[in-house]
């Protein structure tokens, strides 16, 4: 390899990073082998009382299965799994299945999650082999263009089934809504103003779930209305108690038509960004700190005082910033009427924002536009991967009180006299 900046310089074939990757791969192989050995040993020890008439064990070790290679974020890692033999009569024996290394596993979840990210970053199907080879090593097996095409086709079928699933019996106490722009995959004639609409909710048990993913025109009221009506038609008839989202969304007008009893909470992350956009950069730290004092106040009264202070401080010189904040005053403070333990979840659309933080509005245009269904599928797959890491609501028991419409004042349950 040569690097040109006025003169040629030979670069080493194997860099220190390559050597470190090999060390890490070998370490991962040893740790995986030890973990599987321990798992097998524990399983056999749990069956020490299973013996024949002569007192000999019937559940024993029986060598190893053939070596197989698991594709990981460090590249291919060879694994030899111990074999277990159960000599009990047919129908009485148990089959050992490793929880660490399930049958037919060929690649880790981290690699599976990498494919949607690469797609949304603009990598074409034909370029996956080269991109994955650079990330996982040149020996990475099973990820050719044909394999990736087959995998994405399977995901597309799964997305279509998921998008038609019944929501009968489902109840989401809180919902979060946002519109995500991916110019790289929706940049085609007549479709250049599309975005992905994402709706997620919190169940009665406090778990966050993805509800809907579809495309819409500029986050319009009509697009959101179609999404909400579709959810309602599939069984989501009970209105959420609170919805959180960006103030610019057409979502709010649609929500008032489809679920008129649902209360509204504007996202403080979006609002802060919008307010700061109308102020000079040298004032951003001060203004951001003052905004922080509003939504982190312990009571609604303290929040109102901090609100008034911000307005009085900046009204004269930055009226547009003050107007941006003031127009949503009431709906920015709705969360004070809900359990204090839930505030950190309700004040922002962070569950959606954090999932797409690295790609939202940062994708670069490419020559190929990609298909609508492919983009929707990849967004759905990304959110599904992220869903496993979403934090459940704190104090889930308080959700029952929210459902019963018990009043909360500054986050504290109001006791009956």
Contact 334, 343 (CB under 8 A): no
Q: How far is Cα 369 from Cα 340, in angstroms, rounded to an integer?
A: 45
Q: Which of 117, 135, 161 is the last residue before a domain boundary?
A: 161
pTM flag (> 0.75): no
Residue 9: domain span: 1-106
Evaluate if residue 390 carries a pLDDT over 50: yes
Alpha helix segments (H runs only) across 137-233: 145-163, 183-186, 221-233
Calculate ∠ Cα 94-100-106, nearest 5°.
Answer: 105
Domain end marker among 68, 90, 106: 106
Tokens 């797609």 belong to residue: 119
3-state class (DSSP) for residue 23: helix
Number of helical (H) and strand (E) elements in the chain, helices listed first: 16, 13
How far apart CA 233 and CA 318 sit, in angstroms, is 46
pLDDT at residue 130, rounded to an integer: 56
* Residue 416, domain member (yes or no): no
Q: Are strands 242-245 and 208-217 parallel, antiparallel or unpaired?
A: unpaired
Say whether 187 sits in a helix, a strand or coil: coil
- Spatial contact of 106 and 142, defined as CB atoms under 8 Å apart: yes
Give the C-alpha separation, 191 to 375, whole Å.
13
Which residue shows structure tokens 């790289």? 184
Taking only the tens place, the pLDDT of each residue in 159-214 is 999 999 999 999 999 999 998 876 544 445 555 556 889 999 999 999 999 999 99
On average, the pLDDT of the chain sits at: 79
pLDDT score for 331: 96
Q: 154, 380 in Cβ contact below 8 A? A: no
Of residues 47 and 223, more confidence is placed in: 223
**More confident call, 261 vs 16:** 261
What is the total count of domains within the chain?
3
Is the C-alpha dihedral spanning 36, 42, 47, 48 positive or negative? positive
294 shares its domain with 395: yes
User: Is the domain of 261 the same as that of 132?
Assistant: no
Same domain, 217 and 151: no
Measured distance CA(219)–CA(188) in Å, rounded = 18
If asked whether residues 102 and 116 sit together in one domain, one would say no
């Amino acid at each position: 390899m040569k690097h040109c900046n006025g003169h040629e310089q030979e670069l080493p074939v194997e860099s220190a990073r390559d050597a470190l990757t090999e060390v890490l791969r070998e370490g991962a192989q040893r740790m995986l082998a030890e973990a599987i050995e321990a798992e097998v040993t524990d399983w056999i020890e749990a069956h020490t009382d299973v013996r024949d008439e002569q007192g000999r064990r019937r559940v024993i070790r029986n060598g190893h299965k053939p070596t197989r290679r698991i594709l990981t974020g460090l590249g291919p890692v060879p694994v030899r799994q111990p074999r277990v033999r159960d000599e009990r009569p047919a129908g009485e024996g148990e089959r050992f299945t490793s929880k660490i290394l399930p049958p037919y596993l060929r690649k880790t979840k981290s690699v599976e999650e990498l494919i949607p990210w690469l797609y949304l970053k603009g990598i074409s199907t034909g370029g996956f082999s080269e991109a994955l080879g650079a990330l996982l090593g040149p020996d990475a097996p099973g990820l050719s263009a044909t394999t990736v095409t087959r995998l994405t086709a399977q995901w597309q079928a799964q997305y279509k089934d998921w998008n038609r699933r019944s929501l009968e019996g489902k109840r989401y106490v809180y919902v979060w809504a946002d519109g995500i722009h991916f110019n790289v995959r929706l940049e085609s004639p007549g479709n250049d103003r599309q975005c992905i609409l994402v709706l997620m909710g919190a169940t009665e048990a406090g778990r966050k779930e993805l509800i809907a993913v579809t495309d819409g025109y500029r986050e319009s009221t009509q697009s959101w209305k179609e999404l909400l009506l579709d959810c309602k038609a599939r069984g989501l008839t009970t209105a959420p108690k609170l919805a959180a989202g960006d103030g610019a969304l057409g979502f709010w007008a649609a929500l008032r038509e489809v679920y008129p009893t649902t209360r509204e909470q504007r996202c403080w992350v979006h609002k802060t960004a919008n307010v700061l956009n109308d102020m000079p950069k040298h004032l951003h730290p001060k203004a951001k700190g003052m905004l922080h004092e509003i939504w982190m106040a312990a009571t609604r009264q303290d929040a109102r005082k901090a609100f008034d202070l911000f307005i009085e401080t900046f009204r004269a010189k930055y009226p547009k910033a003050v107007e941006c904040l003031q127009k949503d005053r009431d709906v920015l403070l709705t969360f004070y009427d809900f359990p204090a333990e839930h505030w950190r979840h309700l004040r922002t659309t962070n569950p959606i924002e954090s999932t797409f933080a690295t790609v939202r509005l940062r994708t670069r245009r490419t020559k190929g536009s990609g298909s609508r269904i492919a983009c929707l599928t990849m967004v759905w797959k990304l959110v599904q991967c992220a869903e496993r890491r979403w934090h459940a609501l704190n104090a889930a028991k308080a959700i029952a009180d929210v459902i019963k419409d018990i009043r909360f004042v500054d986050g504290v349950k109001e006791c009956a006299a």
